[in-house]
Structure 1
Amino acid sequence: MSIKALRGLLLIPVALLAGCHTVLMSPSGDLALQQRNLIIDSVLLMLLIIVPVIALTLLFAWHFRASNKEADYDPDWDHSTMLELLIWSAPLLIIIALGALTWVSTHKLDPYRPLDRIAAGHSVPADVKPLTVEVVALDWKWLFIYPEQGIATVNDLAAPVNRPIQFKITASTVMNSFFIPALAGQIYAMPNMETQLQAVMNKPGDFEGFSANYSGAGFSGMHFTFHAVSEDAFAQWVQQAKTSGNALSRDAYVKLQQPSQDEPVHRYATVDAGLYEDILTNCIQPDSMSCMRNMKASDAGAMRSSNDSTGMAAMPTAHP
């Protein structure tokens, strides 16, 4: 029986849970679909051991029951080469298969790895450029900056169908987790650090996004809607943001980052240049001692002073 047929059999019990929210098992994005298939394949491989073991356990208990006088009783039995081979070889083969599957999938589904396809059998067109979205987890809301379009939104996200998306993700204060189950797996958002996610949505619609990592009192309200739309509809969505009249300046961001719960959708027609980089490096206030650029400059100055006094050359900070 083929793997596809086995996957279909495994989906039968899932169908019995039709009243439940099974978005993880029926995603709309190619990356999430591949992750779903990895889960199913891994479960099937493990069931190749689990099902026979459970079946044989019940069979042995029934066959060697006290009332079965025809069962052979051999109290001195202690070894069977054939049985030992079965006991050790089958799990070993399963572990090798799982290891190979995990190794290949870990590299193939690396969230930092640029996409090489938008769907099964459809590679990324050479003339298609990924849509860049800069994501900032705030207390307790999501800020999305579109650097190419020059707009920003709060708790509202949109992207064209079948176009690769490059998410650059960070946080303002504490760690969160950026998660759109229909699109891809969760990716952590951490202050002063950037994580990335390369993904694509293949079906139009509105999909739920949220934080999957507890971050305080307003955590339960950190939900947003991801709109997967056509290229024309996305252009209209961008135009609506541009006509909002709001500007996301650094002063506006300082007010926005203050903790708030159940924040409504906001749209910003313009965004200060370099705002995301300043958020990432904690340099919204450029003169702040916590600004990472100032800290690096201070460290570099201290290192130069130390090197001058010792006569040692400074270590380069990048490859030539």
Structure 2
Amino acid sequence: MKYKIGILALLTTFLLSGCETNMVVFEPQGPVARSIMELINWSLIWMLIVVVVVFGLFAYIVWKYREKPENMDYEPPEEHGSTLLEVIWTGIPILIVIALTIPTVTTLYELEEVPKGYEDKEPITIHVTSADWKWIFSYPEYGIETVNYMNIPEDTPVNFKLTSASTMQSMWIPALGGQKYTMGKMETQMYLVADHPGSYFGRNTNFNGRGYADMEFEVLAQTHEDFNEWVKEVQETAPKLTEEEYEELLKPTHLGRLTFSNTHLEWVNHAEMDSKTYTNPELYRYHGYQGKTFEEEDNYKNDHNEDDKDKKDKEDKEQVEGHGGDHSGH
């Protein structure tokens, strides 16, 4: 009885533990996130069908062919299989894969374009730069740059151009869409739309280390009137960002919110192949690992495999010792 009570308590705890979970992905606030949710739901339906059928067949077979007093000495006849059954259990998984693949591929291609229904609306462009350990958002059309927050107008497509000033990271705003990677000297693109005003949570989802786990930001969707008022206020009152301040900003630090009335795109665009590198490995003590810089200019010339290097040194030593004076004059 005690075991039953314990199992019931554990089961109750497990079920109730999910009551307070905020399933943001299943509460989409824009067309992109809605498309992703519909794709997830479609996948969950097929997963549920497979689970129900498999467990149903398992229970039926175990019950039907269980051992009973009247069949204790039963020996089943030798069979060569059923072609019909083999076609069925081979064809069903193929059909399931097709049913999942077609909408998945279609949705992925649609997500690379302006969402349906917004083709006639002019998108605003925001350059997203991930750094250690902060997010930098540049509005080239308005001459505005923010750190760790961004404001966007509601019901308007936003064209995000993503890059990184250091390591590869990933931007995700679950209420508005899926994640996309940011990479140094490269640029990825993503369109998002917020249906209505609201505050939405964003973060880095890449496993970079402890400092990167706290890379969070807020996306505030505003009415067009409020957004235009915010733009005007920033342009008139926010300070200018200098190149020296920007280089200091890129060092591994956690910051609050910052706002400037110009952008770092005036002197550097991290998406360009010939852009300057701003990594600071000597400052990564926060991780417990300071980082490493290569001594040689061409990194591929460095011997990254220490085991192979030690083995080669040992073989060279043995060869010298084995030949003795043969090498003494070289």
TM over 0.5: yes
Q: Assess, with a 3 A threshold, how the Cα gap between structure 1 residues 278 and 178 changes in structure 2: closer, same or farther.
A: closer
Q: Contact 1:171–1:189 at 8 Å: present in 2 too?
A: yes
CA RMSD in angstroms comes to: 2.5
Query: 2:113 corresponds to which residue?
Result: 114
Q: Contact 1:25–1:36 at 8 Å: present in 2 too?
A: yes
CA distance in 1, matches of 2:198, 2:242: 31
Q: Assess, with a 3 A threshold, how the Cα gap between structure 1 residues 116 and 15 changes in structure 2: closer, same or farther.
A: farther
Percent of residue pairs bearing the same amino acid type: 30
Does residue 214 of structure 1 match 2:227? no
CA distance in 2, matches of 1:68, 1:161: 72
Q: Contact 1:244–1:267 at 8 Å: present in 2 too?
A: no
1:243-266, Cα deviation, whole Å (9 max, x unpaired): 4431123222112111112x1100
How many angstroms does 1:90 deviate by? 1.8
1:36-69, Cα deviation, whole Å (9 max, x unpaired): 1111112222433332121111111011111374
Q: Contact 2:186–2:270 at 8 Å: present in 1 too?
A: no
2:106 maps to amino acid? V
Q: Contact 2:184–2:270 at 8 Å: present in 1 too?
A: no
CA distance in 2, matches of 1:189, 1:273: 16
Bigger shift: residues 132-141 or 38-47: 38-47
Query: 1:268 corresponds to which residue?
Result: 260
How many angstroms does 1:207 deviate by? 0.8
How many angstroms does 1:158 deviate by? 1.2
Q: Assess, with a 3 A threshold, how the Cα gap between structure 1 residues 273 and 199 changes in structure 2: closer, same or farther.
A: closer
Does residue 23 of structure 1 match 2:20? no
Give the structure with the higher percent helix: 2
CA distance in 2, matches of 1:124, 1:245: 32
1:124 maps to amino acid? Y
2:26 maps to amino acid? M
Q: Contact 1:163–1:201 at 8 Å: present in 2 too?
A: yes
- The aligned runs of 1:17-96 (5 Å cut-off) are 17-67=18-68, 69=70, 74-96=76-98
1:55-108, Cα deviation, whole Å (9 max, x unpaired): 111111011111374798634234223322321222222122222223322322
1:207-238, Cα deviation, whole Å (9 max, x unpaired): 11110113344212211100011111111222
| TM-score normalised by length of structure 2 | 0.72
Structure 2 unpaired stretches of 5+: 1-14, 278-330
1:191 maps to amino acid? G
- The aligned runs of 1:148-297 (5 Å cut-off) are 148-261=141-254, 263-271=255-263, 274-275=266-267, 277=269, 280-281=272-273, 283=275
SS in 1 for 2:206: coil
2:224 maps to amino acid? E
Q: Assess, with a 3 A threshold, how the Cα gap between structure 1 residues 138 and 200 changes in structure 2: closer, same or farther.
A: same
Structure 1 or 2, whichever has the larger Rg, is 2
SS in 2 for 1:270: coil
1:100-144, Cα deviation, whole Å (9 max, x unpaired): 2233223222xxx33142xxxxx1262x21010001101100110
Structure 1 unpaired stretches of 5+: 1-13, 118-122, 286-320
CA distance in 2, matches of 1:251, 1:280: 20
How many angstroms does 1:19 deviate by? 1.2
SS in 2 for 1:144: strand
Q: Assess, with a 3 A threshold, how the Cα gap between structure 1 residues 215 and 79 changes in structure 2: closer, same or farther.
A: closer
CA distance in 2, matches of 1:90, 1:273: 54
SS in 1 for 2:29: coil
Q: Assess, with a 3 A threshold, how the Cα gap between structure 1 residues 53 and 214 changes in structure 2: closer, same or farther.
A: closer
